[in-house]
Each structure stands twice: as structure tokens, then as C-alpha cells.
Structure 1
Amino acid sequence: MKLQTVAAMDVGSNAIRCLISDVTGLGPDKPVKKSAYLRIPVRLGADVFTSGRISDARQHMFLEAMTAFVHLMRAYDVDHYRICATSAMRDAANGPALISSVSRATGLEISIISGVEEAEILFEANTFSAWADPNETSLYVDVGGGSTEIIAVKNNTLLEAQSFQVGTLRMLAQVVTPEEWLRLDAHLARMAETYKPRQIIASGGNINKAAKLLDKKEGKAASRAELQALYEDLRNLPYNERMTRYRLNQYRADVIVPALEIFLTVAARSGAGRFIIPKVGLVDGMVRHMCFYGGAEQARRPPAPSFRDIP
């Protein structure tokens, strides 16, 4: 069967991520081989969560990033792609206009998706089933710059999914509302009573970095105590010393602290005692999603756009 190359782009609040993978045809259970991964720290949320708009400077950065991805996809001879914009673009007053102008300039189709859609893509793509015990309820928690997605899963069944406007950049800007914290707290208290989860399957760049700092191999468990100790150490270090001691780049050294705070809050409120960190994220889910829903006959979601249609 002909090898297909697919590309997924996650236009997040903190960074834009691109994953290019080779698959043996578009269909369920096809093997996936990663070819390239690129992360550009555009930080759209730094503007949006303080001013409500994306600045001219970051609009230009976004256009440059999308133009670069067009060239990258040509270089890798990509067949199909999907681009999803999340929390910052959802909240930006000028987000839809920016998407339209960049689409006209590049020919790319870019979708703004909801937080619940983010969760559904990850679940439908079966991204984390290998890490969940089928006999107990697990919480899949993805912490981003603008939002946190929480999915309750048992035996490959999605029990419920919620998105909260609690993210690392929002916390740094101190714009998470008391009402949203209360909503998150009430949700977690109910989940603790209803499902009694024992583990969190954690995703996001910050928790992946934490796993590396804790020397946890892919999918290995980290205890809440281990994560708490790392959080306390990082929180008590000045920004520059975090970069030096832990070899963090400037775009990770600030956001990793609020990210760990969110994960630990979810664990404490839900009663979960351990973290599984499989090092997957939305782009991985998008690639698997294209494999699952690539055929025109599979109409639950539209097929991924063909990159061949871009002049």
C-alpha cells in the first residue's frame, strides 16, 4: 500500500507545533512513523489574555510560521494535513480575521476548535488507551497556555470531557477568574466522588519536560510527591537560575511552574496519586485522527485537507 505523509499543526496559546508523520494509508490502526517535529514559541496568548487581541507583531510571526510550514510540508511531500487553533485564537477578538487573512495568503485551511473538541480528538484518535487501566477510571489531563482539558476514561469509553480557562499564560498574567477556579474545583470534587480516579495521564510540553527532569521514561509513573518536590524546587528558584540549573529555555522556564501547579491541583482535588506521562499531545491525536477519519466514506468528521490542492 502507498505510503502517505500527513502533517498536523497545533496553533496553541504558548507555541505552534507541527508534527509530520508517515502512515501506510489513511485508515484505523495504521502504523505511524514520526518524520519531523517543530515547535515555534509564538505565544499568541501573551497578547490575548491581557489585551483581548493578537498584536500586529505576533500576527506577523503567525503568518511567517504558517508560511514556513507550507515550505516544510512541500519539502516532506505531505499528502494531507490538519491545522487546529485553540484557546488563544478562540478568545482573540481579531482571531477569525487573522485566520482568514493567513488562509488567503498561504492557501492553508485553519480551524478554530473548542476545548471539548480538543479532548474529543485525543479520545477518538485513541492516543492514550495504552496507558489507561481498563478496570479503573483514569483522568487524561492536558495543560496548555490558555486552557486545561480533563477527560474521564474507563475501558476505552469516554465518560465525560470538560475544558477550563485555566492555563499557564493565563496564570502568569493573573487573569484566571475566581469563578473559573471554583468551577474547576467543583468539577474535580464531583469526579473524586463519582469515579475515584487513581491516576492521571498527563500531557503537554511542561509535563513532558518534568518527566525528563525526573528521569522518567515514556509511560513510566511519577508519584504526586515527586512532582510536588520538583514544583517546590522550581518555584523557589529565580527565573534565570531555573534556566541554568535545569537547562530550561526561556520559553519553558516561566510556564513550567504554573503548569505543575495545575497538575498538582487536579491530583489533590481528584484524589489521584500518580501521573503517567506518555509524551503525546494534540498533534499526535490529530495524526491518528487523520488515519481514523481520512476516508471520504468515514463522514463523522470531514477528511483531512489535501496538501496537493495548495498551489
Structure 2
Amino acid sequence: MLKIQKYAAIDIGSNAVRLLISNIIEQDDEPVIFKKNSLVRVPIRLGSDVFLNGEISEYNQNRMVDTMTAFSLIMKSHGIVRYKACATSAMREAKNSAPLVDMISKKCNIKIDIIDGEEEAAIIAETDLHRFIDPNKTYLYVDVGGGSTEFSIINNGVKIKSKSFKIGTVRLLNDIVKNETWRELEQWVKENTKEYYKIELIGSGGNINKIFKISGKDAGKPLTYFYLTSYYKMLQNYSYEERITKLNLNQDRADVIIPATRIYLSAMKWSGAKDIYVPKIGLSDGIIKSIYHETVSSILV
């Protein structure tokens, strides 16, 4: 017997806000299928407010209410049965996040959970990583966001350790990442990867997904350290305007793609990884899986 339900995940990041709608397909004696149905992304960039001024501007509060109203209507149109909305780094640090969450709950009927970095890393780890990894290998999983980057060590198919660092694309753009934080990250990566003979990276986030798409590589094939270094140097030879007009990057991608690439390259250098795999999964995918497996709370519509 076939049963299909729709779940929704809302990821409120420091650079963009996303709504992922997935079909949950269940059949007798068959593994459940998670099929992406729709993805909507709005580049609100809350981090530009919060990391500089400590709070979300009135302009972006209004944009958030408008976006969540739209998301609520889209979920209603799709017939969503369960959803979870998670806010990460920017909302964690905003002084006025609580009243904004309350306003969105009342005006848009969407309840938002502000999660910490460790919970974010745990939810991301719920994704279908096992489909993309070799159980006999060791990986450093790197999820780059606007406000923070989550790192996980995966050995023989098992997550060994995770840590979240306040190094993200929007923070780097605004030059507010301390050298001390970079040193702490470098030490963590080196310390936790040194015991493994060979390690490979798994990268997630919109920027590495975009780079992978541009590379023209077949799904499942990695990008090399050499390729990523060459692409990084090429990006720096173009102005912001040229990255939009000549490289065909969206305006909200054309600036953050450089600091994002720097984070991936740093992680590869410190871990000794020569390849980075890009399975195109992230927090939204992890939220959907976590709702289904009931490892997080969710809202029944």
C-alpha cells in the first residue's frame, strides 16, 4: 500500500531563508523515500544586521514577516502535514529575536525554534550522508553558513565528533572574524584528523553547490583541491559587479562565494584532504529526516 505525505522544513540562516517541501513516500516492506518537491530561497541576509549591530533591523523584520506569510500560504497550498522551522546563527545572536519570533507566530502562524550550533550539526548529520560516503573511509563534513560553519568527523560511517565555529560567509564579508577563532578552528581540524591516514571532505552549503554545478562534474565525483584553488584565484580576479555580469552569479551569491571557498580550502589544507565531495544536502534536508524519525519536535498542521 502506498502512502504519500508532505513535510516542510524552514531554514532561517544568516544569509538566506529557505522553505523545502518534501514528499514522504511509504510502501509496504520498502524503505521510505524522501523526494524533494519544492525549494524556495529568499536572500534576506539577517547576519548583516546582527553581526554588526546586534539586532535585526525593522526593514528585515518586515521582510521576515512577509516571507513567513508567503511560506505559510505555500505550505497550506501543498497540504503540508508536519513542519519545523529552525533559526540559526543570526537569530541566535540577535537581541530582538524573541519578539520577532513571537510576531511571526501570531501574524504568520509559524512557530520558529532557535537552535544552537551543536543541534544544527546534529540535524545536518541526519541527512542521507550514508548514500554518499564509503563506509571504509574517513571524512571531514563541512557545512558553511552565513554566520557559522559546522564540522563533523565521520569514520567508518559513524559520526565521531562535531563542532560549530563562528566563522561564516557574512561574518567574513564584514571582517568580524577574529584571528583567534581561525586559530581555534585550525587546531580543532588538525587535532581531530591527524590520527587518520587519509581523509576526504564533504562540503554542503549553497556556495559549494554552485561551484560544483559550474564545474560540470558528474554527480558523485569530487572536486579536487587544485580545482578549488584555481577557482578561488579566478574569482578574486573579478570585481563584484563582474562576478554578476560575466560569471552569471546572483547578486547575493557573488560576494559570499569567495569567503565560503576560503573556508573549504582551509579545511582541506589543515586536514590534508585532496578531494571534496558535494552531495547537495544541508540543514533543510536534515530537518525533514529528523521530523520523520521523530528525533526533533515538529508542528502537526
* Residue of structure 2 in register with 1:120 after alignment: 122
Give aligned-pair identity as a percent.
40
**Which of 104, 108, 114 is 1:102 aligned to?**
104
CA RMSD after TM alignment: 1.7
Q: List runs of 5+ in structure 2 lacking aligned partners.
A: none
Q: How does 1:189-228 map to 2 (within 5 A)?
A: 189-228=190-229
Q: How does 1:12-27 map to 2 (within 5 A)?
A: 12-25=13-26
Q: List runs of 5+ in structure 1 lacking aligned partners.
A: 294-299
Query: Per-residue CA shift, 1:84-126, capped at 9, x if unaligned?
Result: 0001001111112211221122221110011111111122x24
Q: Does 1:306 align with 2:297?
A: no
Q: Are 1:143 and 1:259, in contact at CA under 8 Å, matched by a contact in 2?
A: yes
TM-score by length of 2: 0.95
CA distance in 1, matches of 2:65, 2:106: 11
* Residue of structure 2 in register with 1:155 after alignment: 156
In structure 2, the CA distance between the partners of 1:306 and 1:70, relative to structure 1 (3 Å rule), is: same
Query: Per-residue CA shift, 1:57-90, capped at 9, x if unaligned?
Result: 0000011110000000011111111100001001
* Residue of structure 2 in register with 1:52 after alignment: 54
Q: Are 1:15 and 1:44, in contact at CA under 8 Å, matched by a contact in 2?
A: yes
Following TM superposition, by how much is the alpha carbon of 1:179 offset from its aligned partner in structure 2, in angstroms? 2.0
* Residue of structure 1 in register with 2:136 after alignment: 135
* Residue of structure 2 in register with 1:276 after alignment: 277
Deviates more, 1:16-25 or 1:201-210: 16-25
Following TM superposition, by how much is the alpha carbon of 1:198 offset from its aligned partner in structure 2, in angstroms? 2.1
User: Relative contact order: is structure 1 or structure 2 higher (C-alpha 8 Å, sep ≥ 6)?
Assistant: 1
* Residue of structure 1 in register with 2:94 after alignment: 92
Following TM superposition, by how much is the alpha carbon of 1:197 offset from its aligned partner in structure 2, in angstroms? 4.6
Query: Per-residue CA shift, 1:226-266, capped at 9, x if unaligned?
Result: 01100100012111111122210100000000000010001
CA distance in 2, matches of 1:229, 1:75: 44
* Residue of structure 2 in register with 1:242 after alignment: 243
Q: Does 1:43 align with 2:45?
A: yes
CA distance in 1, matches of 2:147, 2:203: 16
CA distance in 2, matches of 1:75, 1:7: 12
Q: Are 2:193 and 2:199, in contact at CA under 8 Å, matched by a contact in 1?
A: no
- What is the number of residues matched between the two proteins? 299
* Residue of structure 1 in register with 2:178 after alignment: 177
* Residue of structure 2 in register with 1:69 after alignment: 71
Following TM superposition, by how much is the alpha carbon of 1:301 offset from its aligned partner in structure 2, in angstroms? 3.3
Q: Are 1:3 and 1:22, in contact at CA under 8 Å, matched by a contact in 2?
A: yes
**Aligned partner of residue 262 in structure 1, secondary structure:** helix
